[in-house]
């Protein structure tokens, strides 16, 4: 029933035709995407050979073809979507190199049902966003826990200058359906998780490490 309600919300949003309010922020970019729920999965349909991503500045994506970028997805590709406004969905295509975020025309995507109450073991294991950040979920004493590390600009050995910008989380995660919450004492660091099929999204409050360090990202299963 919850799955149907979630799909109904997104389907209604996909059909919206009214222009976005003047104070609507059209920003849709990689570094911010994982902090903008709710999320859903969608598949590029076969209406056209390509589904171009559209820009988010100077009135875009609602200013016609001039907003289309060189980045695109093709029929069958799976994307994650969040906000939907006036015929466009803020979308993220997971791929090597950090993935691509931008606005996609809703006429070119079909929503994909997701399991909103996955078994706990679906969370367990290692997840990574191109190697940084990295998370590991495991069961300890009957509770789901997460341990993770994040660095900026990257883990030691991946850049030629020293950096103390790093973050670490380690503790229990409270699971509700396909969402999770990690929080430290006094709300110093807080991370929210969303499990969408083969993808894991995390959005933190900016207090989980040194300057520019963030666990906010779209993760896939880490290779052994």
Task: Average the pLDDT over each of 12-26, 79-93, 156-170, 193-207 and give the range with the smallest value.
Answer: 12-26
| Residues paired with 147 in a beta bridge | 136, 170
What's residue 21's pLDDT? Answer: 54
d(CA 56, CA 62): 9
Q: Please list, in sequence order, all residues whose beta carbon lies within 8 angstroms of the beta carbon of residue 123, skipping any fewer than 6 positions away.
A: 137, 144, 173, 175, 180, 195, 200
148 pLDDT more than 80: yes
122 pLDDT more than 50: yes
What's residue 17's pLDDT? Answer: 43
Instruction: From 52, 55, 90, 56, select the one nearest 72 (Cα to Cα).
Output: 52
* pLDDT classification of 162: cutoffs 50, 70, 90: low
Task: Specify the pTM.
Answer: 0.87
Is the CA virtual torsion 51, 55, 61, 67 positive or negative? Answer: negative
Percent residues over pLDDT 90 in the chain: 75
Q: Cα 173–219–6 angle (5° rounding)?
A: 70
What's residue 8's pLDDT? Answer: 46
């Amino acid at each position: 029933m919850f799955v149907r309600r979630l799909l109904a919300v997104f389907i209604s949003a996909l059909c919206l035709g009214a222009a976005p309010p003047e104070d609507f922020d059209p920003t849709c970019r990689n570094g911010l995407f994982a902090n903008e729920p709710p999320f859903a999965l969608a598949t590029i349909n076969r209406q056209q050979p390509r589904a171009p991503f559209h820009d988010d500045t100077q009135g875009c994506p609602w200013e016609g073809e001039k907003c289309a970028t060189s980045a695109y997805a093709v029929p069958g590709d799976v994307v994650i979507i969040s906000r939907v406004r006036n015929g466009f969905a803020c979308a993220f295509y997971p791929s090597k190199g950090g993935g691509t975020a931008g606005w996609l025309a809703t006429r070119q995507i079909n929503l994909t049902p997701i399991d909103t109450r996955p078994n706990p073991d679906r969370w367990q294991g290692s997840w990574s966003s191109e190697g940084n950040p990295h998370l590991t979920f495991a069961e300890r004493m009957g509770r789901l826990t997460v341990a993770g590390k994040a660095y900026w600009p990257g883990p030691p050995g991946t850049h030629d200058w020293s950096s103390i910008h790093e973050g670490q989380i380690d503790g229990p995660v409270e699971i509700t359906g396909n969402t999770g919450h990690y929080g430290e004492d006094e709300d110093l660091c807080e991370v929210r998780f969303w499990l969408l099929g083969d993808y894991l999204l995390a959005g933190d409050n900016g207090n989980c490490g040194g300057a520019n360090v963030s666990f906010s990202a779209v993760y896939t299963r880490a290779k052994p």
